[in-house]
Chains A and B, each alone.
Chain A
Amino acid sequence: MSNQSTDAGLISSQDLPKLAEAGHVAAPTVGNSAAELREAVQAALAEQWSLMGIIDTGKKASDLGKKAADALTDKGKEIEDKAIHREKDARDEAHRKMNDDKAKKHGREAGAHGATTNAFARALSELRG
């Protein structure tokens, strides 16, 4: 992942739900040392950034297309509106999936734990030394 690609990969708020979904890139191999692990991490990051670059490029193209259509005809505006709705639906769906996932992972456990009391916080602090 180069600095150049990082600078080019500025993320907008509307990209976040889509890009926040992990699972596109496999976990890096652990290797035989911390150095080997870090090399594998760098390769995974490069792959991740490459995926993000593709998404970013597609978004820019989509934005340009929208502007051109809007400038030309009312029909273009209608298409843009539909695209915005689709984008909103996609974002809502991404949020729903993320919430479902979070609920599955944490819901019951977090609820069972309840609020952290001062006494509990103190006990943890003592355990840490």
Chain B
Amino acid sequence: MILVMGPVDELVTAFFLKHLTDTKREYLFVDERHLGGDVRLELDLPQGPSGKGRLRGAVHFPTWRVGLEELTGIYSRLGTGNVEQRKTPEARAEQAHAAALLDLFPGPVANRATAMLSNGSKPCQYAAILAAGLRVPDTLVGGTWERWEPFARALDGDPVIKSVSDERSLVKQVSWEATRASARPGQALAPHQFQQRIHGTNIRAHVVGARHVLACRAETQALDYRHPDMTGHTVSLRATELPEPVAEACRRLSRALGVDLAGIDLIEPPGGSSRPEDWVCLEVNTCPGFMWFEQNAGLPIARVLADFLGTPLGS
């Protein structure tokens, strides 16, 4: 049985629940608004040697319960959407229990609370991306004017500015003159990330269980393909197969970050290449909203994810 946690009316949560319903899978759902109220998590990790079955506990409802041993995998969208979080001690305790469950559950979890932290710092992720064999863009984080100017002037074209963390941001290209004009005298640069703009085709690869790679190419003239309409462009998403060495690099990267569902943003070099070191990885989304890609490119991400999370441990 798959445990799903998140707000029922958050888009991706709803999309995955619908898939589970349509395919008649056994699932248990915990709406985060019930945590600390109608739903309590019981976790018991006794002293002793590691091994299967060490973590015991249950998901408790007022009149019934489901033991953790009945769960095969967990899909979490906790913290997404704009659900008002209850601030009671009980609710906060249950949120902490939920985070612990995501980290300690022995079966597959998409994704574990600690594994998702890597997206909080793109430079941190870049270490893992480079270790997996992919390229990263030339990057300057924050910095002083003394460092910014030679960085920007050495690039081919204006640099791209984007969030250094997992904050949502619209990727923009900014000129040296515009950046300089917006600066306040005597003030350091705001903590943004400046990068070389990479030319090529945007590819989003969803990796499930560090094994299954489902990729699509985004064909658009827009700099940020997620918001093409803001610059008067359109986007077309089309399923594609990655060259096997590149797919294998994506698997390595997912494994290194410990994420069972990754949304990896890649740039395929003009003319294509099967060498991972020719491909640039912009970031790894550790809580990817895969619905848009599934709906528009026909990738069976929900099915593959459900298969992965629904497989009993050890089988």
Contact B79 A105 (CB under 8 A): yes
**What residues on B are CB-neighbors of A31 within 8 Å?**
61
Q: Can you offer 28 A-B residue contacts whose CB atoms are under 8 A?
A: A16-B226, A20-B11, A22-B7, A22-B80, A23-B84, A26-B33, A30-B61, A33-B64, A34-B26, A37-B28, A38-B21, A41-B21, A45-B18, A91-B227, A95-B170, A102-B166, A105-B79, A110-B120, A113-B114, A115-B124, A116-B114, A116-B115, A116-B118, A121-B114, A124-B104, A124-B112, A128-B55, A128-B104
7 further A-B contacts with Cβ under 8 Å, apart from A23-B84, A116-B117, are A13-B229, A16-B289, A16-B292, A41-B8, A41-B29, A102-B79, A102-B167
In the complex, how many angstroms separate the beta carbon of B120 from the nearest chain A beta carbon?
A: 5
**Inter-chain contacts of B85 with A (CB < 8 A):** 105
CB-based contact B29/A38 at 8 Å: yes
Residue B182 at the chain A interface, CB threshold 8 Å: no
Contact B104 A127 (CB under 8 A): yes
The yes or no answer to A11 lying at the interface (CB within 8 A) is: yes
* A53 CB, min distance to chain B CBs, angstroms: 13
Residues of A within 8 A of B53 (CB): 129
Across the interface, which residues of A come within 8 angstroms of B104, CB to CB?
Answer: 124, 127-128
Q: Does more than half of chain B's interface fall in helix, strand or loop, or is it mixed?
A: loop
- Check: A78 CB closer than 8 A to any chain B CB: no
| A120 engages B295 (CB within 8 Å) | no
Q: How far is the CA of A41 from the CA of B55 in the complex (A)?
A: 28
Residue B291, interface by CB 8 Å: yes
- With both beta carbons as reference points, the residue of chain A lying nearest to B21 in the complex is identified as A42
Inter-chain contacts of A33 with B (CB < 8 A): 64
Nearest CB of B to A25, in Å: 4
- The answer to the question of A126 belonging to the interface, with a C-beta cut-off of 8 Å to chain B, is yes
Within 8 A of A (CB), among B9-52: 9-11, 13-14, 17-18, 21-22, 26-29, 31, 33-34, 38-39, 45, 50-52
Say if the beta carbon of B83 comes within 8 Å of chain A.
yes
Contact assessment for A120 and B168 in the assembled complex, using a CB-CB cutoff below 8 Å: no
B244 at the interface (CB under 8 A from A): no
Contacts A13-B292, A16-B292 known; A28 to B8 CB distance under 8 Å?
yes
Given the complex, which residues of A lie within 8 Å of B58, measured CB to CB?
Answer: none
- Whether the pair A99, B167 counts as a contact (CB closer than 8 A) is yes
In the complex, A36→B258 CA distance in Å?
34
Contact with A along B275-289 (1 / 0, CB 8 A): 000000000000001
Beta-carbon contact of B114 and A23 below 8 Å: no
Q: Does A19 contact B (CB under 8 A)?
A: yes
Q: Are A14 and B50 in contact (CB under 8 A)?
A: no
Q: Is B230 an interface residue (CB 8 A)?
A: yes
- Asked if B312 is at the interface of the complex by the 8 Å CB criterion, the answer is no
Whether A97 is near chain B, meaning CB under 8 Å from some CB there, is: yes
In the assembled complex, which residues on chain A have CB atoms less than 8 Å from the CB atom of B135?
none
B14 touching A45 by the CB < 8 A rule?
A: yes
Q: Which B residues are CB-close (under 8 A) to A103?
A: 167
